[in-house]
Amino acid sequence: MSRDINVLLVDDCPDFRALVRHYLRQNAPDVTLTDYDPEVQGLPADSFRWSRYDLLLLDYQLGDGGDGLSWLAELRDKDGFPPTVLVTAQGNEYVAVRALKLGAEDYIRKQDLTATRLVEVVREASRGRSPAAAAVPSVNKTTLQPGPEETVVRGINGYRMMRKIGAGTQSRIYLAERLSDDLQVALKIVAISAMDDEDVLRRFEREVNALERIASPHVVRLFDQAFADDCGYIAMEHLPGGDLRERMDGQFDEDVAVDWMRQLLQGLAVIHSAGVIHRDLKPTNVLFRGADTLVIADFGISRPIDTDTEHTTEGMLLGTPAYMSPEQCLGDSVDARSDLYSAGVMFVEMLTGLRPFRGRSVAAILHQHVHEPIPRLDATLAHQQPFVDALLSKQRADRPATAGEALELMQASVH
Amino acid sequence: MEVELDGGIEPLVGNYMTNRRKDIAALQEALDGADFGRIAALGHRMKGNGASFGFHRISELGVELEDAAMGEDASAVATALAALSDYVDNVKVVYR
């Protein structure tokens, strides 16, 4: 039986404390939050029972109460002191580095805070301290033992680690600075122990190979890749503009949807010309450079076209159900037209705010991709229906053969 | 002026705007007393809480207030304060 995760929030702003409480109450009922107003309560006394908390969310500037980093330096050696996440409005990487050097687990900018991000940070940072957090199956511990964190503590030669910005089952992604020129990069790290699993190693190599072959403003740039003592790493372009999912709260203006779909197809045209199929196109794998340049990322399960005539890994569906083509759902071979199907699903979501196929279970969604008719768009978007129908055709032979053909077809649909 | 916010935080927004009106009164009082430390602290707080609620304009004005106060520039504080007051009085919130 797991117990609640106990979180202590130290912040001088009542509105921010109310927001955090609201987000956790709505989205993580197993988290118990305790407020602490540093302006009123001051620095906790020596008798403060830190062991009651699984996580400390600590504001950087505590109003008249002082400075969160000074608090961390003074308190971190206390008995039972919990993992700490620094919360700040500063948005300053220098502050982030100082916090991590003082032992903070992570760093969140207040302007980046969403309910999803907050819950993710709370669960991740309190992992290992709280049985409840440890029970959350978001990370496959067997494939992460020992995890890449051990390597990160020592650092990767040539890079200065700043903060964790993402995680997968076999990898961690850090914001890092290249020492030679201070370039900020997204450093994806996979532990060598995880690569004992041949499939993990193959995916790492595929991602590197795919990125090395592709040069497009609409594809994430690769700067460097290598194997260090106990990990493999890929230094990629850092894209802080967020992903398409974050911008998909509701439907867009049609012009915006069309513009972003055009950029997506332009990126796919280059990827496919380089002989690579992405195979996992979805909004979280589509990032932004600046405000409006769309960039395709995460080639972790991509494959060269000429080796993809066989079925996917035995018994495994690779991809994300909501965006998978019928042939992927059936475990058949995939080709460039499978990526076009996924792009079509995203286009419908951009136009309408809803994915074309939704269900209560993975099986239900897969069934719909394979068997259900393509949903009809509203009358105001009817001119886009032929383009959507082409991309979402159940039979790949009925889809455009290339991203270039899809672009031409889209152009014909613009009214 | 219109701002689109996450519908999930609707129950908090009324209180949030009430607190900004209190901040405006406190800022005016601090400006009258040339208490730039207080203005900087209030501006800094708005910088953080504005964007976290989705009121990015309030964050921008918080930055302006904090910067102006750090430079002890009463005129710039007054300008930012007037803009904040105008925004709080006129912003229309829609929820998505």
Quick: pLDDT tens for A294-322: 999 887 655 554 433 333 333 344 557 88
pLDDT tens column, A87-109 = 887 656 677 777 877 888 888 88
- A207 has a pLDDT exceeding 50: yes
The pLDDT assigned to A116 comes to: 85
Lowest average pLDDT, out of A2-11, A341-350, B67-76, goes to: A2-11
Residue A364 is classified by DSSP as H
DSSP string over A248-279: -SSPPPHHHHHHHHHHHHHHHHHHHHTTEE--
User: Is the pLDDT assigned to residue A150 strictly greater than 60?
Assistant: no
- The beta strand positions in A192-265, using DSSP E, are 222-227, 231-237
pLDDT at A192 over 80: no
Nearest chain B Cα distance for residue A114, angstroms = 8
* Chain B closest-CA separation from residue A189 CA (Å): 30
* pLDDT interval class at A339 (50, 70, 90): very high
Q: What is the mean pLDDT of residues B38-51?
A: 89
Whether residue B74 is predicted with pLDDT greater than 90 in this model: the reply is: yes
With both helix axes pointing from N to C terminus, report the angle between A254-273 and A403-413 in degrees, rounded to the nearest 10.
Answer: 160
Mean pLDDT, range B21-30, rounded to an integer:
94
Q: What is the ipTM of this complex?
A: 0.91
Q: Which two tokens stand for residue B59?
A: 């964050």
Residues of B in contact with A95 (CB under 8 A): none
Residue B94 forms contact with A (CB below 8 Å): no
pLDDT at position A154 over 70: no
Q: Which of A99-103, A213-217, A279-283 has the highest mean pLDDT?
A: A279-283
What pLDDT is stored for residue A149 in this prediction? 42
Nearest chain A Cα distance for residue B75, angstroms: 24
Q: What is the mean pLDDT of chain A?
A: 79
Q: Quick one: what percent of chain B has pLDDT higher than 90?
A: 56
Please check whether residue B90 is in contact with residue B3, taking contact to mean a CB–CB distance below 8 angstroms: no
Mean pLDDT of A350-372: 86
Q: For residue A226, what pLDDT is reported?
A: 78
Q: What is the mean pLDDT of chain B?
A: 91
pLDDT score recorded for residue A248: 79
pLDDT at A128: 58
Give one DSSP letter per residue of A122-190, joined into a string.
Answer: HHHHHBTTBHHHHT-TTS-TTTTSSPTHHHHHH--TTEEEEEEEEE-SSEEEEEEEETTT--EEEEEEE
Per-residue pLDDT tens over the stretch A218-239: 999 888 877 776 778 888 888 8
Q: What is the pLDDT of residue A274?
A: 83
How many beta-carbon contacts under 8 Å exist across A and B? Answer: 55
A111 in contact with chain B, both atoms CB, cutoff 8 A: yes
Of A111-115, A154-158, A259-263, A374-378, the one with minimum mean pLDDT is: A154-158
- Confirm or reject contact between B48 and chain A (CB < 8 A): yes
Per-residue tokens: A105 = 């687990």
* B9: nearest Cα among B53, B59, B55, B58: B53
Does the beta carbon of B47 lie under 8 angstroms from any beta carbon of chain A?
yes
Q: Which of A412, A411, A248 is nearest to A345 (CA)?
A: A248
Contact between B48 and A13 using a beta-carbon 8 Å cutoff: yes
Q: Residue A185 is encoded by which pair of tokens?
A: 């990069």
Query: Which of B12, B47, B49 is opposite residue A22, by nearest beta carbon?
Result: B12
Q: Would you say residue A187 has pLDDT above 70?
A: yes
User: Looking at residues A42-70, what average pLDDT do you find?
Assistant: 85
Q: Is B12 on the interface with A (CB under 8 A)?
A: yes
pLDDT given at position A388 = 97
Of A254-258, A343-347, B52-56, B92-96, which range is least confident?
Answer: B92-96
